[in-house]
Amino acid sequence: MAEEIVISNKNKIRVGRLIRIYQKEMGITLFDLIENVCSRQVATNFNKDIPAKNDEFYLGALAKLGFNYNYRHDMDDYILNQCRLLRDAVEWYDTKMMEKICYETIKRLEPYRKYIIEYEYIRAFEMIYKFSFVSVMVEEEIDHFIKSMQYLNQDIIDVLSNVIFKFCFKFYDFHEGSKTFFKANFIFNTLNLKNSFYSVNQLNYASYLLSVKYHIDSLKILMKIDQEYSEKKNYNGLLLVYSKLFWLIGNIQEKSIERYEDCFNDIVNNKDIKVNQELVMQGRMNLALNYFENGYYLKSKKYFLETIRFEKYYVKSAICLKLIEYCENDFTSDFVMLPVENCKIITEREKVFYEYYYLKSMNDDFARLINYLDSYVLPNVESHDSFYYIVFTNEIKLLLKDHNHHEVNRRKLMKISDKFRKM
């Protein structure tokens, strides 16, 4: 882009907004910001998208925040292109390309870190990289970009919206009454995913609808994106669509699952198609859970034996496989559970459930298992909507079928069963 002689009104509005955002984030008072720079009214107008006539007002305020303004705009075309490339890589779930683009962009823009607009893009690419490849908390960055990302270009807005939603979906609770309900819903409403033209964020919106049980509305979106990705031959995208359908179909039309299962496996087993293995495992996990929850243990076992090799799904796969072994009285998989301290990815709540099956697999005393169910498992199941409610309801039914236990233990088990039914 050509060098500016003065800051354009469009960029004055953008810079003015960023100045006020950074002023508050850095804890600088409005008085300190405007001292020897501009009037309070001029600074107040920054928040009203009213451009000031004098560039010096912006340059003076930026200097107090440690920034400057790049009149040359020598990186604008590069930034636009990198944002476009990243948006495409995210849509095609090409994680290697995403990582490469983020790394190269951050490195190339490093000398421009002192310029306010270029710094926003550096910070955006850094957040996307951290969330996607370093697995660090980016909550501070989420709070920042909810306020500032509208002043970036649409391609990077689409990608940032994807990251922000995924972070909120993972760490916040959208259900009323939860501690994070108001923040989660404020962010969700700000993102406005419903009206996004980006298929990735349409899928995110479908995920949200699934979480609040608007199954039919979610299905309509998934069907639309299924058609779009099929036409584009976006196989990674299709795997993700099928993965969500496996979960959804279990709730509304169970008989249709085999059709999508065949489509999923056709892609996975086609040696000419290179696909993201994490998406493959996610799809297999959702298939396994669908069949497990509907009592098709042999079908679910086939997929759990695949997902158990993936650290992210090891714990849930191991628990389900153990229950299946006991229910089917089939131990041919020769599967041995790791001690809980050796599980690399496990929550505190999951430790409770995992430890029960580990104790049982070690032939622990039946009376102790019953006490463990009552003292630890039951308080952590939380509600009948929990997946582990299904697991342990089936576990208790299995235990009650065995008539060889002492009558005292059976009575205790019956009481636990009653507590589960009342949840």
Give the C-alpha distances (Å, rounded to integers) separating 227 from 175, 196, 199, 245, 246. 31, 17, 11, 13, 17
Same domain assignment for residues 137 and 127: yes
In single-letter form, the type of residue at position 374 comes to: D
Calculate helix-pair angle for 154-171, 199-211, nearest 10 degrees. 20
d(CA 372, CA 355): 9
User: Does residue 190 form part of some domain?
Assistant: no
For 204-250, give the DSSP string. HHHHHHHHTT-HHHHHHHHHHHHHHHHHHT-HHHHHHHHHHHHHHHH
pLDDT at 221: 96
User: Does residue 235 form part of some domain?
Assistant: yes
Same domain assignment for residues 315 and 419: yes
pLDDT at 421: 82
d(CA 268, CA 275): 7
User: Does residue 252 form part of some domain?
Assistant: yes
Same domain assignment for residues 324 and 392: yes
User: Does residue 364 form part of some domain?
Assistant: yes
369 token code pair: 């298992």
Same domain assignment for residues 57 and 101: no
Same domain assignment for residues 174 and 97: yes
User: Does residue 206 form part of some domain?
Assistant: no
Cβ atoms of residues 183 and 172 within 8 Å? yes
Per-residue pLDDT of the chain (423 residues; tens, 9 = 90+): 668 889 999 999 999 999 999 999 999 999 999 999 999 999 999 999 999 999 999 999 999 999 999 999 999 999 999 999 999 999 999 999 999 999 999 999 999 999 999 999 999 999 999 999 997 889 999 999 999 999 999 999 999 999 999 999 888 877 777 788 899 899 999 999 999 999 999 999 999 998 888 999 999 999 999 999 999 999 999 999 999 999 887 666 656 788 899 999 999 999 999 999 999 999 999 999 999 998 999 999 999 999 999 999 999 999 999 999 999 888 777 788 999 999 999 999 999 999 999 999 999 888 899 999 999 999 998 777 788 999 999 999 998 887 676 788 888 888 888 888 887
Domain edge (last residue) among 275, 307, 339:
307
Note the pTM of the prediction, 2 decimals.
0.85
For 141-177, give the DSSP string. HHHHHHHHGGGS-HHHHHHHHHHHHHHHHHHS--STT
User: Does residue 28 form part of some domain?
Assistant: yes
Same domain assignment for residues 30 and 89: no
pLDDT at 173: 79
Max Cα separation, the chain? 90
CB-facing half-sphere around the CA of 298: CA atoms within 13 A: 3
Same domain assignment for residues 239 and 299: yes
Same domain assignment for residues 260 and 176: no
Same domain assignment for residues 359 and 279: no
R_g of the chain, CA atoms, integer Å = 27
pLDDT at 383: 78
Domain edge (last residue) among 135, 169, 185:
185
pLDDT at 401: 85
User: Does residue 191 form part of some domain?
Assistant: no
CA 339, 344, 349 angle in degrees (round to 5)? Answer: 75
pLDDT at 395: 93
Among positive and negative, which fits the CA dihedral 152, 83, 154, 241?
negative
Domain edge (last residue) among 307, 341, 358:
307
132 token code pair: 């996607």
User: Does residue 198 form part of some domain?
Assistant: no
pLDDT at 250: 65
Domain of residue 254, residue span: 213-307
CATH code: domain of residue 22: 1.10.260
Same domain assignment for residues 292 and 332: no
pLDDT at 58: 96
pLDDT at 1: 62
For the chain, the domain total comes to: 4
Same domain assignment for residues 321 and 274: no
Same domain assignment for residues 161 and 250: no
